[in-house]
Amino acid sequence: MSHQIRIATESDLEKIMIIEKACFGNDAWSKSNMKSELLAPHTTYLVAEDSTGLIGYAGLSKLATSTSADIQTIAVSDSHRGLGIGRLLMQSLLDFAREQDAKDVLLEVREDKPTPQSLYKSLGFVAIDRRENYYQPDGIAAIVMRLDIEKTAKSAPIVLGIETSCDETGIGIVQGNKLLANVISSSMDQHARFGGVVPEIAARAHLEALDSVLAKALEDANISITDVDAIAVTNGPGLAGALMVGVGAAKALAVSLNKPIYAVNHLVAHVAVDILERGKLETPTVALLVSGGHTSLLLVRDILNDVELLGETVDDAAGEAFDKVARVLGLEYPGGPEIDKVAKDADPKAIKFPRGLSLPKDMEQNRYNFSFSGLKTAVARHVERAEAQGETISVPNVAASFREAVVDVLVTKAVNACLDNQVPRLILGGGVVANSRLREVAAARCAEAGIELRIPAFSLCTDNGAMIASLGAQMVMAGVKPSDLDFGVYSTIDF
């Protein structure tokens, strides 16, 4: 049974009070005290809930004038103890304390309660004081505990991630959930005259870019290479020859530093990037990954252990379709931004282009799969027919109608994936996320369906090393065994 943590609102007050009274009896706060706590500007209250409703809550207080934060209270309903909900609430509060730049976090705990004390100890809290007769009317002493949060944050592993699966040479550095550097060198310009990524050109560019990208990443992160605790590298899916540059580089770097190496799945890493912006990944989540190389729908229940590939393109990737249609329309490479530009203010309904794999029978057999090859051909036919008849086409209207068809299919299938699986959130990733219409339609339809939409910063959406480092860091922190040194690369999706 899954549970989730969210920020408390005043409407939670009644339910909080039920747990408060059950948990604390004589020590329980009054309803009015609890209400002012919930509403105070310097406090953060979180609630945990599952399908049965509210099952726990916890609060943090941090004054702007102080470098210390205080855990105000924490409670989990009797029937939900021992499920790790208290730990989850505490970890979430500590994340908030970090975000508010607290240097340490303080709490008091009843001396006669060993269970919460051991939870706090396991989170790094140390007893620093004892207050006699603190809890009245029972006359129980309080143990004051303190967590040096600055030091805890520093002990999060520094992971360097290398990404070379397509035409971007990316090296990112993270510390735990925090982004330290994200440097990208793209060979896109070298592919322009070919109208698409040429694998050999991409691989050559990776080799040439490695040194300078590494140097810049270390400089941005302001660390020495010997500070790195682990290396992560994309080993698929992607262009085999390109992947091998990164894998060779990463393995040698790991051996030279005598540090572990983690082989990372490129698509899952696109999802892990969200952790760098939010401090954690809300699960379950659906992810729609759209680029020149991929069009994939993932269902992520656990970023490390439970990622399901719901569907993918059966022919061209969406970004590839943009490139090919741009060529047909005489637009530049890469096609996505060019089509986006000319389609602005044009009529997306001017031409009714086909929606691939969207017929009723397809929606059964290929519900989450995509196809853009037929759409691309339809655009080409439309243009040729017009030319043959001596008509001039409206490039803006063709571009807008094509874009609408792609976006419609992408968003429809992604929203279906959320609704079918009762997943209330969707993350977008991949370079096509730059497309303004995709963002618009996704935002509107997610809002309509009550789905929370996450769109990471664009520099984290396109292929990058930070996402690889982020997934690597999650593996390190979860104690996942490092990869053996002899792993290879794979070009197609492999879950």
Partner 1 sequence: MKQVLLAIDTSQGTSVAVLIDGEVAAEATDSNPMRHAENIGTLIARCVEQAKVKPNEITDVAVGVGPGPFTGLRVGIAAAKMFAAGSKAKLHGVGSLDAIAFRLDLEAPTLVVSDARRSEVYFGLFQGKSAKGIPQRLMVPAVGKQAEIESRLQTQAQPYELVQRPVSAVSIGWLAIALVSEGVKPEPIQANYLREPDAVQARPKKVSD
Q: Which residue has the tokens 């090859």?
A: 373
Kind and range of the H or E element at 269? helix 266-272
Beta-strand (E) ranges in 237-365?
Answer: 261-265, 285-290, 295-302, 306-312
| Residue 193 CB neighbour total at 10 angstroms | 8
Fill in the amino acid letter for 111.
E
CA angle (4, 60, 472) in 5-degree steps: 55
Match 């996942």 to its residue by tokens: 480
Strand partners, 295: 290
Q: What's the closest the beta carbon of residue 11 comes to partner 1, in angstroms?
A: 55
- 415: contact with partner 1 by CB under 8 A: no
* Burial of residue 432 (number of CB atoms within 10 Å: 0-12, 13-18, 19+): buried
Q: Is 488 in the site for partner 1 (CB under 8 A)?
A: yes
Site pattern 366..405 for partner 1 (x: CB under 8 A): ----------xx--xx--x---------------------
* Long-range pairs of 188-194 with CB within 8 A, sequence gap ≥ 24: 188/334, 191/167, 191/333, 192/332, 192/333, 192/334, 193/333, 194/333
Tell me if residue 4 falls in helix, strand or coil: strand
d(CA 238, CA 199): 10
Q: Which residue has the tokens 């890469």?
A: 334
Nearer to partner 1 among residue 158 and residue 247 (C-beta): 247
Question: CB of residue 391 vs partner 1: minimum separation in angstroms?
Answer: 17
Contacting residue, 98, 270, 294, 324, with partner 1 by CB under 8 A: 324
Kindly calculate the radius of gyration of the chain based on its CA atoms and give it in whole angstroms.
Answer: 26
Does residue number 297 form part of the binding site for partner 1 (CB under 8 A)?
A: no
Which range of residues in 113-121, 149-157, 294-302, 327-335 is near partner 1 by CB under 8 A?
327-335
Residue 179 interacting with partner 1 (CB under 8 A):
no
Q: Pick from 255, 443, 447, 478: which binds partner 1 (CB under 8 A)?
A: 255
Contact residue for partner 1 among 13, 28, 127, 257 (CB under 8 A): 257
Quick one: which segment of 105-113, 147-155, 209-217, 464-472 binds partner 1 (CB under 8 A)? 209-217
Q: Can residue 80 be called a binding residue for partner 1 (CB under 8 A)?
A: no
Distance between CA 45 and CA 75 in Å, rounded? 12
Beta carbon of residue 470, minimum distance to partner 1 (angstroms, whole number): 20
Residue closer to partner 1, measured from CB, 208 or 440: 208
Site for partner 1 in 228-247 (CB under 8 A): 240-241, 243-247
194: contact with partner 1 by CB under 8 A: yes
- Smaller CB separation from partner 1, 20 or 168: 168
* CA angle centred on 155, ends 149 and 158, rounded to 5°: 130
Query: Does 328 interact with partner 1 (rule: CB under 8 A)?
Result: yes
CB 191 to partner 1: min, Å = 8
Residue in 256, 302, 352, 420 binding partner 1, rule: CB under 8 A? 256
What is the total residue count of the chain? 495
- From candidates 142, 216, 220, 248, binder to partner 1 by CB under 8 A: 248
Sole binder of partner 1 in the list 196, 374, 424, 482 (CB under 8 A): 196
Q: Does residue number 486 form part of the binding site for partner 1 (CB under 8 A)?
A: yes
Other CB atoms within 10 A of residue 211 CB: 10
Which letter does DSSP use for residue 194 in this model? G
What is residue 304's DSSP assignment?
T
Q: Which amino acid is present at 34?
A: M
- 413 is a contact residue toward partner 1 (CB under 8 A): no
- Binding positions for partner 1, rule: CB under 8 A: 193-196, 198, 200-201, 203-204, 206-208, 210-211, 214-215, 225-226, 240-241, 243-258, 261, 324, 327-328, 330, 376-377, 380-381, 384, 485-489
